[in-house]
Structure 1
Amino acid sequence: MPLEEVLLPEGVLPSTWQTALYDAAASFHWQANMLEADLALPYSRHICWGEGKQLIAYLSGHLIAGEFTVNQVYVQPDYRGQSYGSQLLARFLDLGASWGVEAVYLEVRASNYVARQLYQQAGFTELAQRKNYYKKPTEDAIIMYYQM
Protein backbone atom coordinates (compact mmCIF):
# COMPACT_ATOMS: atom_id res chain seq x y z
CA MET A 1 0.00 0.00 0.00
CA PRO A 2 1.47 3.42 -0.89
CA LEU A 3 2.03 5.98 1.83
CA GLU A 4 -0.69 8.50 2.51
CA GLU A 5 0.18 12.13 3.26
CA VAL A 6 -1.66 14.63 5.43
CA LEU A 7 -0.51 18.24 5.65
CA LEU A 8 -1.48 20.14 8.78
CA PRO A 9 -3.09 22.50 9.56
CA GLU A 10 -5.09 22.03 6.33
CA GLY A 11 -5.72 18.30 6.51
CA VAL A 12 -7.40 16.00 8.98
CA LEU A 13 -5.54 13.11 10.58
CA PRO A 14 -7.10 9.68 10.97
CA SER A 15 -7.71 9.11 14.70
CA THR A 16 -5.09 6.35 14.93
CA TRP A 17 -2.48 8.66 13.38
CA GLN A 18 -3.45 11.41 15.81
CA THR A 19 -2.79 9.13 18.78
CA ALA A 20 0.59 8.13 17.32
CA LEU A 21 1.45 11.79 16.67
CA TYR A 22 0.87 12.60 20.35
CA ASP A 23 3.02 9.62 21.36
CA ALA A 24 5.80 10.67 18.98
CA ALA A 25 5.71 14.27 20.21
CA ALA A 26 6.07 12.96 23.76
CA SER A 27 9.39 11.40 22.72
CA PHE A 28 10.56 15.01 22.20
CA HIS A 29 9.29 15.89 25.71
CA TRP A 30 6.24 17.69 24.29
CA GLN A 31 3.06 17.36 26.32
CA ALA A 32 -0.29 16.97 24.58
CA ASN A 33 -1.26 20.59 25.24
CA MET A 34 2.01 21.79 23.68
CA LEU A 35 1.29 19.84 20.48
CA GLU A 36 -2.31 21.11 20.39
CA ALA A 37 -1.12 24.71 20.80
CA ASP A 38 1.48 24.22 18.07
CA LEU A 39 -1.08 22.76 15.66
CA ALA A 40 -3.25 25.86 16.18
CA LEU A 41 -0.52 28.34 15.23
CA PRO A 42 -1.06 29.93 11.80
CA TYR A 43 2.64 29.53 10.95
CA SER A 44 2.91 25.89 12.05
CA ARG A 45 3.37 23.22 9.37
CA HIS A 46 3.26 19.44 9.79
CA ILE A 47 3.80 16.73 7.20
CA CYS A 48 2.45 13.37 8.33
CA TRP A 49 2.95 10.08 6.48
CA GLY A 50 1.17 6.86 7.21
CA GLU A 51 -0.03 3.57 5.88
CA GLY A 52 -3.50 2.36 6.75
CA LYS A 53 -3.96 3.00 10.47
CA GLN A 54 -0.24 3.46 11.16
CA LEU A 55 1.53 6.83 11.35
CA ILE A 56 5.01 6.17 9.97
CA ALA A 57 6.76 9.53 9.99
CA TYR A 58 6.26 13.23 10.41
CA LEU A 59 8.10 16.53 10.23
CA SER A 60 6.95 19.70 11.95
CA GLY A 61 8.10 23.26 12.24
CA HIS A 62 7.36 26.94 11.91
CA LEU A 63 7.38 29.13 8.81
CA ILE A 64 7.94 32.82 9.54
CA ALA A 65 9.05 35.44 7.01
CA GLY A 66 10.53 32.92 4.58
CA GLU A 67 12.48 31.01 7.24
CA PHE A 68 11.44 27.55 8.34
CA THR A 69 12.58 26.19 11.70
CA VAL A 70 12.26 22.42 11.93
CA ASN A 71 11.00 21.42 15.37
CA GLN A 72 10.67 17.67 15.00
CA VAL A 73 11.53 14.93 12.54
CA TYR A 74 10.26 11.54 13.61
CA VAL A 75 10.14 8.06 12.09
CA GLN A 76 8.46 5.23 14.00
CA PRO A 77 11.14 2.84 15.33
CA ASP A 78 9.95 -0.13 13.23
CA TYR A 79 10.38 1.94 10.05
CA ARG A 80 13.82 3.41 10.71
CA GLY A 81 16.64 2.50 8.35
CA GLN A 82 14.26 2.24 5.37
CA SER A 83 14.92 5.76 3.96
CA TYR A 84 11.67 7.28 5.26
CA GLY A 85 13.63 10.06 6.96
CA SER A 86 15.48 11.09 3.82
CA GLN A 87 12.33 10.82 1.69
CA LEU A 88 10.35 12.91 4.18
CA LEU A 89 13.08 15.54 4.28
CA ALA A 90 13.17 15.67 0.46
CA ARG A 91 9.38 16.02 0.35
CA PHE A 92 9.55 18.82 2.91
CA LEU A 93 12.15 20.69 0.83
CA ASP A 94 9.90 20.37 -2.24
CA LEU A 95 6.88 21.65 -0.32
CA GLY A 96 8.98 24.37 1.29
CA ALA A 97 9.75 25.85 -2.09
CA SER A 98 6.02 26.13 -2.82
CA TRP A 99 5.45 27.69 0.63
CA GLY A 100 8.01 30.40 -0.08
CA VAL A 101 10.70 29.04 2.23
CA GLU A 102 14.07 30.68 1.58
CA ALA A 103 16.10 29.17 4.42
CA VAL A 104 15.71 26.23 6.81
CA TYR A 105 17.17 25.91 10.31
CA LEU A 106 17.18 22.98 12.70
CA GLU A 107 18.88 21.78 15.85
CA VAL A 108 20.08 18.26 16.48
CA ARG A 109 21.80 16.56 19.39
CA ALA A 110 25.56 16.47 18.87
CA SER A 111 25.53 12.69 19.49
CA ASN A 112 22.81 12.00 16.90
CA TYR A 113 25.22 11.11 14.11
CA VAL A 114 22.56 9.33 12.04
CA ALA A 115 20.39 12.46 11.88
CA ARG A 116 23.36 14.75 11.30
CA GLN A 117 24.47 12.59 8.37
CA LEU A 118 20.91 12.57 6.98
CA TYR A 119 20.78 16.38 7.09
CA GLN A 120 24.25 16.77 5.60
CA GLN A 121 23.37 14.43 2.73
CA ALA A 122 20.29 16.60 2.07
CA GLY A 123 22.51 19.68 1.79
CA PHE A 124 22.39 21.13 5.30
CA THR A 125 25.56 22.65 6.74
CA GLU A 126 26.55 22.94 10.39
CA LEU A 127 26.29 26.58 11.40
CA ALA A 128 26.94 26.73 15.16
CA GLN A 129 26.90 24.81 18.42
CA ARG A 130 24.81 25.53 21.53
CA LYS A 131 26.56 24.29 24.64
CA ASN A 132 24.51 22.21 27.08
CA TYR A 133 21.28 22.98 25.20
CA TYR A 134 19.57 19.63 25.69
CA LYS A 135 18.68 18.14 29.06
CA LYS A 136 18.19 14.52 30.14
CA PRO A 137 20.99 13.99 29.27
CA THR A 138 22.72 17.34 29.05
CA GLU A 139 24.19 17.69 25.61
CA ASP A 140 25.20 20.25 23.01
CA ALA A 141 22.95 21.11 20.07
CA ILE A 142 24.28 21.50 16.54
CA ILE A 143 22.47 24.21 14.57
CA MET A 144 22.19 23.35 10.89
CA TYR A 145 21.18 25.48 7.91
CA TYR A 146 19.85 24.88 4.41
CA GLN A 147 19.61 27.55 1.71
CA MET A 148 16.69 26.93 -0.66
Structure 2
Amino acid sequence: MMYLSKRDFSPETAQRLWEICEESYDHGSLWSARQFAADIEQRLSEYFVLVQEKQWLGFIAYHEIFDEIEINHVVVAKEHQGQGVGQQLLKQAVAHWIQQGFTQAFLEVRASNLSAKKLYEKNGFEFINCRKNYYSHPQEDGVVMCLKLKDVKK
Protein backbone atom coordinates (compact mmCIF):
# COMPACT_ATOMS: atom_id res chain seq x y z
CA MET A 1 0.00 0.00 0.00
CA MET A 2 1.08 3.53 -0.63
CA TYR A 3 -0.18 7.06 -0.09
CA LEU A 4 -0.43 9.83 -2.66
CA SER A 5 -0.62 13.56 -2.06
CA LYS A 6 -1.76 16.20 -4.52
CA ARG A 7 1.77 16.66 -5.90
CA ASP A 8 1.32 13.12 -7.34
CA PHE A 9 -1.95 13.99 -9.12
CA SER A 10 -2.57 13.94 -12.87
CA PRO A 11 -5.06 16.10 -14.82
CA GLU A 12 -7.67 13.31 -14.51
CA THR A 13 -7.53 13.25 -10.71
CA ALA A 14 -10.43 15.64 -10.08
CA GLN A 15 -12.76 13.40 -12.09
CA ARG A 16 -11.51 10.34 -10.21
CA LEU A 17 -12.08 11.99 -6.80
CA TRP A 18 -15.60 12.99 -7.84
CA GLU A 19 -16.39 9.45 -9.04
CA ILE A 20 -15.29 7.91 -5.74
CA CYS A 21 -17.49 10.37 -3.83
CA GLU A 22 -20.44 9.96 -6.17
CA GLU A 23 -20.39 6.17 -5.74
CA SER A 24 -19.53 6.10 -2.04
CA TYR A 25 -21.69 8.76 -0.40
CA ASP A 26 -25.29 7.70 0.23
CA HIS A 27 -26.56 10.93 -1.34
CA GLY A 28 -23.91 11.38 -4.03
CA SER A 29 -20.95 13.73 -4.09
CA LEU A 30 -21.31 17.13 -2.47
CA TRP A 31 -18.71 18.51 -4.88
CA SER A 32 -18.52 18.39 -8.67
CA ALA A 33 -15.37 17.36 -10.56
CA ARG A 34 -14.89 21.06 -11.31
CA GLN A 35 -14.96 21.88 -7.58
CA PHE A 36 -12.36 19.19 -6.91
CA ALA A 37 -10.17 20.62 -9.69
CA ALA A 38 -10.43 24.11 -8.18
CA ASP A 39 -9.67 22.76 -4.70
CA ILE A 40 -6.59 20.89 -5.89
CA GLU A 41 -5.23 24.24 -7.15
CA GLN A 42 -5.69 25.92 -3.77
CA ARG A 43 -2.46 26.54 -1.85
CA LEU A 44 -4.00 25.44 1.46
CA SER A 45 -5.56 22.21 0.19
CA GLU A 46 -4.01 18.77 0.52
CA TYR A 47 -5.07 15.21 -0.17
CA PHE A 48 -4.12 11.92 1.40
CA VAL A 49 -4.99 9.01 -0.93
CA LEU A 50 -4.58 5.32 -0.04
CA VAL A 51 -3.64 3.20 -3.07
CA GLN A 52 -3.19 -0.55 -3.32
CA GLU A 53 -2.14 -2.21 -6.57
CA LYS A 54 -3.00 0.97 -8.52
CA GLN A 55 -6.54 0.99 -7.07
CA TRP A 56 -7.66 4.00 -5.03
CA LEU A 57 -9.17 2.68 -1.79
CA GLY A 58 -10.10 6.04 -0.33
CA PHE A 59 -8.94 9.55 0.45
CA ILE A 60 -9.01 12.43 2.88
CA ALA A 61 -9.23 15.97 1.47
CA TYR A 62 -8.38 18.81 3.83
CA HIS A 63 -7.19 22.37 4.18
CA GLU A 64 -4.22 23.43 6.29
CA ILE A 65 -5.27 26.68 7.99
CA PHE A 66 -2.63 28.12 10.31
CA ASP A 67 -2.10 25.34 12.87
CA GLU A 68 -5.43 23.59 12.19
CA ILE A 69 -6.80 21.03 9.76
CA GLU A 70 -10.25 21.47 8.19
CA ILE A 71 -11.31 18.11 6.75
CA ASN A 72 -13.56 18.36 3.69
CA HIS A 73 -13.88 14.68 2.76
CA VAL A 74 -13.15 11.30 4.28
CA VAL A 75 -14.18 8.84 1.59
CA VAL A 76 -13.74 5.09 1.22
CA ALA A 77 -14.52 3.56 -2.16
CA LYS A 78 -17.82 1.68 -1.98
CA GLU A 79 -16.28 -1.74 -2.61
CA HIS A 80 -13.77 -1.23 0.25
CA GLN A 81 -16.12 0.05 2.93
CA GLY A 82 -16.21 -1.93 6.17
CA GLN A 83 -12.65 -3.23 5.68
CA GLY A 84 -10.75 -0.82 7.93
CA VAL A 85 -9.70 1.55 5.13
CA GLY A 86 -11.20 4.61 6.84
CA GLN A 87 -9.40 3.71 10.06
CA GLN A 88 -6.12 3.29 8.20
CA LEU A 89 -6.54 6.60 6.36
CA LEU A 90 -7.32 8.51 9.55
CA LYS A 91 -4.49 6.90 11.50
CA GLN A 92 -1.90 7.83 8.87
CA ALA A 93 -3.29 11.33 8.31
CA VAL A 94 -3.38 12.09 12.04
CA ALA A 95 0.22 10.89 12.46
CA HIS A 96 1.24 13.16 9.58
CA TRP A 97 -0.61 16.16 11.02
CA ILE A 98 1.00 15.66 14.43
CA GLN A 99 4.44 15.39 12.82
CA GLN A 100 3.77 18.63 10.92
CA GLY A 101 2.83 20.46 14.15
CA PHE A 102 -0.91 20.93 13.64
CA THR A 103 -2.88 21.31 16.89
CA GLN A 104 -6.43 20.27 15.97
CA ALA A 105 -8.58 18.89 13.18
CA PHE A 106 -12.22 19.75 12.44
CA LEU A 107 -14.88 18.12 10.29
CA GLU A 108 -18.62 18.06 9.65
CA VAL A 109 -20.59 14.88 9.17
CA ARG A 110 -24.23 14.24 8.37
CA ALA A 111 -26.21 13.61 11.55
CA SER A 112 -27.53 10.36 10.05
CA ASN A 113 -24.07 9.01 9.10
CA LEU A 114 -23.70 6.80 12.16
CA SER A 115 -20.83 4.68 10.81
CA ALA A 116 -18.72 7.77 10.05
CA LYS A 117 -19.49 9.34 13.44
CA LYS A 118 -18.49 6.06 15.12
CA LEU A 119 -15.20 6.00 13.17
CA TYR A 120 -14.41 9.60 14.12
CA GLU A 121 -15.26 9.02 17.79
CA LYS A 122 -13.10 5.87 17.82
CA ASN A 123 -10.24 8.07 16.61
CA GLY A 124 -10.71 10.71 19.31
CA PHE A 125 -12.94 13.25 17.56
CA GLU A 126 -15.46 14.88 19.89
CA PHE A 127 -18.79 16.59 19.22
CA ILE A 128 -18.53 20.37 19.48
CA ASN A 129 -21.58 21.75 17.67
CA CYS A 130 -24.56 21.05 15.44
CA ARG A 131 -25.14 23.10 12.28
CA LYS A 132 -28.86 23.12 11.54
CA ASN A 133 -29.77 22.24 7.95
CA TYR A 134 -26.10 22.28 6.93
CA TYR A 135 -26.55 19.67 4.20
CA SER A 136 -29.00 19.67 1.32
CA HIS A 137 -30.31 16.87 -0.93
CA PRO A 138 -31.64 15.78 1.53
CA GLN A 139 -31.65 18.61 4.02
CA GLU A 140 -29.96 17.53 7.23
CA ASP A 141 -28.01 18.81 10.20
CA GLY A 142 -24.23 18.70 10.20
CA VAL A 143 -22.41 17.50 13.29
CA VAL A 144 -19.17 19.41 13.88
CA MET A 145 -16.40 17.37 15.49
CA CYS A 146 -12.88 18.22 16.64
CA LEU A 147 -9.75 16.21 17.37
CA LYS A 148 -7.16 17.81 19.66
CA LEU A 149 -4.01 16.46 18.06
CA LYS A 150 -1.85 17.07 21.12
CA ASP A 151 -4.09 14.63 23.04
CA VAL A 152 -3.63 11.78 20.54
CA LYS A 153 -1.68 8.87 21.97
CA LYS A 154 1.16 7.90 19.72
Same fold by TM-score greater than 0.5: yes
Alignment of 1:24-35 (within 5 A): 24-26=20-22, 27-35=28-36
Question: Residues of 2 paired with 1:80 and 1:89: CA distance?
Answer: 14
Alignment of 1:29-44 (within 5 A): 29-44=30-45
Matched residue, 1:100: 101
Question: CA-atom RMSD, angstroms?
Answer: 1.7
Of 8, 17, 20, the residue aligned with 1:21 is 17
Contact 1:25 1:35 in 2 (8 A): no
Q: Note the residue ranges of structure 1 that are not aligned, 5 or more in a row.
A: none
- Between 63-72 and 48-57, report the one with greater CA deviation: 48-57
Matched residue, 1:4: 2
Matched residue, 1:138: 139
Amino acid at match of 2:20: A
Question: Residues of 1 paired with 2:69 and 2:15: CA distance?
Answer: 26
Question: Residues of 2 paired with 1:20 and 1:75: CA distance?
Answer: 13
The structural deviation recorded for 1:97 is: 1.2
Q: Note the residue ranges of structure 2 that are not aligned, 5 or more in a row.
A: 23-27, 150-154
Q: TM-score, normalised by structure 2?
A: 0.86
**What percentage of aligned pairs have identical amino acids?**
30
Contact 1:25 1:31 in 2 (8 A): no
Amino acid at match of 2:9: V
Matched residue, 2:25: none
Q: Look up the SS of the partner of 1:136 in the other structure.
A: coil
Following superposition, which runs of at least 4 residues in structure 1 exceed 4 angstroms of deviation? none
Residues 25 and 79 (structure 1 numbering): CA distance in 2 closer, same or farther, change over 3 Å? closer
Q: TM-score, normalised by structure 1?
A: 0.90
